[in-house]
Amino acid sequence: MQDRRAGLLLTVCLAVACAAVPEGSARVIVTLAPGVSLSDRAAFERMVLARTAVQIGYIAAISDRVHAISVSCEPSDVDCARARAVLMASGLFTSIDDDRRRSRS
Amino acid sequence: MKASQLILGVVALAWALSATPAQTQKVARMPSAAIATDRVIVKFRDDLARAQATKAETVTHDRIAGLATRTGMQLQLARSVTAQVHALRLARAMGGADLQATIARIGRDAAVEYAVPDQRKYRALMPNDPGYGTTPTTQQWYLTPPSSTFVAPIDAEHAWDITTGSSQVVVAVIDSGVLYDHPDLGRVAQGGKILPGYDMISDPVIANDGDGRDADASDPGDWVTQADLSNATFKGCAVSDSSWHGTHIAGIIGAATNNGVGIAGIGWRTLVLPVRALGKCFGYDSDIIAGMRWAAGLSVPDVPVNPNPARVLSMSLGSQDACTQPYADAVNELSRSGILVVAAAGNESAGASDAPANCAGVLSVTALRHVGTKVGFANWGTDVAIAAPGGNCVNTAQGSPCLYPIVSTSNDGTKQPGNMTYDGQLGTSFSTPMVAGVAGLMLAANPNISLADLRQRLLLTARAFPAADPSEPTPLLSCSDPKFTADTAGNLPNDGRCNCDKTSCGAGMLDAAGAVRSAINPVAVASGPSSAGAGQTITIDGSSSVASPGNAASIAYRWQVTGDGTTTLGATNGPTLNLSATAGSYNITLTVSDASGHSDSRTVALQVTANTSTGGGGGGGGAIDAAQLLALVALGLIGAFRSRRRD
């Protein structure tokens, strides 16, 4: 009983790997399809809603083509997976990945 | 649930931190490999017949005179080391390319076995920071040269003999931000070590500073209260005090050093670029990846371009997950820009690295105890690249101080910043900046080193893991032993401690001195059996050796064997050496040199025993079987041919 015991006694932060996201939405990282522009973010959100019936919210940029967005969905894997499938099928994105939490090591 | 983080505030050290800012002392400049010298050490090839026929002084004089004539240089004997080895004085002091060209020219002469610069050597450079030393609970044992007590330290001292870093080298810390006002850190604009950086956290609740992304990378604290847990954002988190995690890491990489205050940083002159991507409890991939790109000087929409791009990224964060495509894309983009990404393997006692450490192209770092075995909490596995000290609390009772923490810069504020302090923490988080910091020193020694060379040399120079820790009450399993697996309750043998090997903890233990040397020198690597039977043909393999960066085409090998028996050698100038020997103890030395004028040597020991029986069982009273005899004859012929050719 040496390192692990001492460590466990003093653990102050628990694993949050891919744990809960705010209820009612999921954060994802999307790559825009060629020709798709995100210069007007509000317009983009409206356009996505009109085309897919999925509500998204812009969060932040990673690069010109890669952005973080929230996807409105019920807090269940099934519903969020369906919303992502609809977004992917829209042709607006070439990839959709989870925007997961990472903790300090 | 596994612990994903171990933060251990074991020592709050009050090293001259009261109100007096650090008094900066002039940092002694130590010689680099490029420093000028007017001497060269030359070893002439054997010329026994002539030496026996003539007085030694005459032979030496004639050899030097002949060499001077053939090379067109003024060469004078400064001092003889042996009958074959002499220090020669050049016409003038020279360094850099001039010296390299001169050495190469002398080395090409047919009478010369090798030529190397004769340069001054100094005792290992020790900083005067009170936190630097080997008092386990309060000092930076992890930076010192290894010893029988401290097996895992990285030996920054001998790296500092070569370079103490460069302000042209920037190492980014993607983390919780930094406390700029710490007396061992400070803003670059005010003579400190920390660049402006950026706060890349887009969610104000997580950022805890009232807004989203902004140009202030300072750490406001990342405490989590019971009340916070009612916020859906923090679902899955735990109540905790502020960690000052990024500040701790920044200190390991680049604390102000030799200033008589606090601790030493690995890079005395290295600048640290803080990129804030972790806030209260965690950070999102999108902010982390944006931070990686910004740190590297790549564009991030809505954010000003980073004017101080980093060559190395230190990422002490992650979670158990596969590498996702956005990380893979970012790492590829950074790799194309020649930027090294170093990340923590993680603290879940798991047999694989966390993401993003497990992404291809990222150097995953696991944590070692002071004795060189894997610390219980650290992840291991085939995706780990290298190991470095991560702190351990051996033999402590509940409530007593941790004996071997990683001491660095910190703060005593449980929420907002309080007093600037130093404390000890544990985790692969703190092994990671050691690797990043050493990479920064390598880049200072050789700014032109490629990313591939940087990675290769960090790994190639890592020291071998120790066989076992004799202080363990029950011997540890190998980390790659199939029996090293969790029981039904999730507990690993020996609380997760195990003996590292290359398939579980990476290439070896980080060696700062070896790595920095390798940034400007060739690296000799020799491996082969440690024992053999008399007359048995064995091969020592030096083919993993590398030339100094940019000089691969000129790599040259030279093998020498010393011992108390008789040997028959194959070619001694190739990447491998074939030999057979009579019973005895031998040292086999490979020296690798190249057009840089630098060389490196590696010696392996070989014990040859008299054969006690004939046949496949090995050994037989010195008898040699037919195959061995044939091999010896072949080797003898090769050796004889080489001998004649040299004459």
pLDDT digits (tens, 9 = 90+) for B59-112: 888 899 999 999 999 999 998 888 888 999 999 888 777 887 888 889 889 999
Q: Which residue has the higher pLDDT, B528 or B622?
A: B528
Nearest to A7 among B3, B283, B432 (CB): B3
Indicate whether B158 pLDDT > 80. yes
Among B267-276, B422-431, B459-468, B469-478, the range scoring the smallest mean pLDDT is B469-478
Chain B residues touching residue A70 (CB < 8 angstroms): none
B236-284 pLDDT, tens digit per residue, is: 899 999 999 999 999 999 999 999 999 999 999 999 999 999 999 999 9
Instruction: Output the pLDDT for position B397.
Output: 77
Compute the average pLDDT of residues B432-451: 97
Residue B226 has pLDDT above 60, yes or no: yes
Q: Which helix (H) or strand (E) holds A56?
A: strand A56-61
Tokens in use for A52? 């897919």
Q: pLDDT-based confidence at B12, cuts 50/70/90?
A: very low
Which helix (H) or strand (E) segment holds residue B64: the answer is helix B56-71
The strand pair at B340-344 and B312-315 is best described as: parallel
Q: Give the gap in angstroms from C-alpha B283 to the nearest C-alpha of chain A.
A: 5
Of B288, B375, B432, the CB nearest to A102: B288
User: What ipTM, to 2 d.p.?
Assistant: 0.84
Interface of A with B in 16-35 (CB under 8 A): 16-20, 22-23, 27, 29, 31
Strands B420-425 and B406-411: antiparallel
- A105 and B321 within 8 Å at the Cβ level: the answer is no
| Helical segments of B192-284, H only | 204-207, 245-254
Q: What is the mean pLDDT of residues B343-371?
A: 98
Confidence at residue B114, expressed as pLDDT on a 0 to 100 scale: 87
Residue B257 in tokens: 């050093």
Percentage of residues in chain B with pLDDT exceeding 90? 74
Domains and CATH numbers, chain B: 37-117 (3.30.70), 141-515 (3.40.50.200), 522-646 (2.60.40.10)
Long-range Cβ contact pairs of B13-16 (< 8 A, separation 24 or more): B13/B131, B13/B138, B13/B407, B13/B421, B13/B422, B13/B423, B14/B421, B15/B130, B15/B131, B15/B261, B15/B262, B15/B263, B15/B422, B16/B130, B16/B260, B16/B261, B16/B262
Among partner residues A4, A16, A59, which is closest to B319 by beta-carbon distance?
Answer: A16
Mean pLDDT of B360-377: 97
What pLDDT, on a 0 to 100 scale, did the predictor assign at position B633? 47
For residue B621, pLDDT over 90 is answered with: no
pLDDT for B50 equals 62
Provide the 8-state DSSP code for B573.
Answer: S
Q: Which residue of A has its CA nearest to B366?
A: A105
**Chain B residues close to A66, C-beta within 8 Å:** 289, 326, 329
pLDDT computed for residue B345 by the predictor: 98
Q: Give the tens place of pLDDT for each residue, B19-37.
A: 233 332 333 333 343 467 8
The size of chain B, in residues, is 647
Each domain of chain A, given as residue ranges in start order, spans 3-98
Bridge partners of residue A64, in order along the sequence:
none
- Any idea which of B5-9, B162-166, B487-491, B532-536 has the lowest mean pLDDT? B5-9
Task: Round to whole Å and give the CA distance between B302 and B150.
Answer: 48
CA-only gyration radius of chain A, Å = 18
Residue A3 clears pLDDT 60, i.e. is over it: no
> Are B240 and A12 an interchain contact pair (Cβ–Cβ within 8 Å)?
yes
A39 part of contact set with chain B, CB < 8 Å: no
**Tens-digit pLDDT profile for residues A26-67:** 999 999 999 999 999 999 999 999 999 999 999 999 999 999
pLDDT score of B614 more than 50? no
Predicted confidence at residue B59, as pLDDT, reads: 83
pLDDT digits (tens, 9 = 90+) for B422-436: 999 999 999 999 999
Contact A3 B497 (CB under 8 A): yes
pLDDT at B7: 42
**Confidence tier at B52 by pLDDT (50, 70, 90):** low
Round the average pLDDT of chain B to a whole number and report it.
88
Q: Which residue of A has its CA nearest to B320?
A: A17
Statement: residue B377 has pLDDT above 90:
yes
Query: Confidence class of residue B646 from pLDDT cuts 50, 70 and 90?
Result: very low
Which chain A residue's Cα is nearest to B176?
A104
- Name every chain B residue with its beta carbon within 8 A of the beta carbon of A100: 284-285, 319, 321, 324
CA separation, residue A52 to residues A34, A43, A82, A94 (Å): 18, 14, 11, 15
CA of residue B551 relative to chain centroid, distance: 21
Q: How far is CA B8 from the centre of its chain?
A: 25
pLDDT band at B168 (very low <50, low <70, confident <90, very high): very high
Return d(Cα B195, Cα B306) in angstroms, integer: 10
Sheet holding B538-541, edge to edge: B538-541, B576-581, B567-569
Which helix (H) or strand (E) segment holds residue B432: the answer is helix B428-445
Q: What is the pLDDT of residue B35?
A: 61
**CATH fold group of domain A3-98:** Alpha-Beta Plaits (3.30.70)
In a 13 Å sphere around the CA of B204, the CA atoms on its Cβ side amount to: 4
User: Which amino acid, residue B511?
Assistant: D
**Which tens digit of pLDDT belongs to each residue from B496-532?**
999 999 999 999 999 999 999 999 999 999 999 999 9
Inter-chain contact B284–A68, Cβ cutoff 8 Å? yes
pTM: 0.80
In this prediction, what percent of chain A has a pLDDT beyond 90?
Answer: 68
Query: Which among B175, B238, B346 has CB closest to A13?
Result: B238
CA distance B275 to B192: 17
Flag if A61 and B2 touch (Cβ within 8 Å). no
Could you tell me how many CB contacts below 8 A there are between chain A and chain B? 209
Q: Which residues of chain B are within 8 Å of residue A17 when distances are taken between CB atoms?
A: 4, 319-321, 354
**Residue from B592, B587, B568 nearest B578 by CA:** B568
**Does A27 sit within 8 Å of B4, measured CB to CB?**
no
Band (pLDDT 50/70/90 cuts) for residue A75 is low
What pLDDT does B10 receive? Answer: 39
Q: How far is A55 from chain B (nearest CA, A)?
A: 19
d(Cα A93, Cα A34) in Å, to the nearest integer? 8
Separation between Cα atoms, residue B473 and residue B496, nearest integer Å: 14
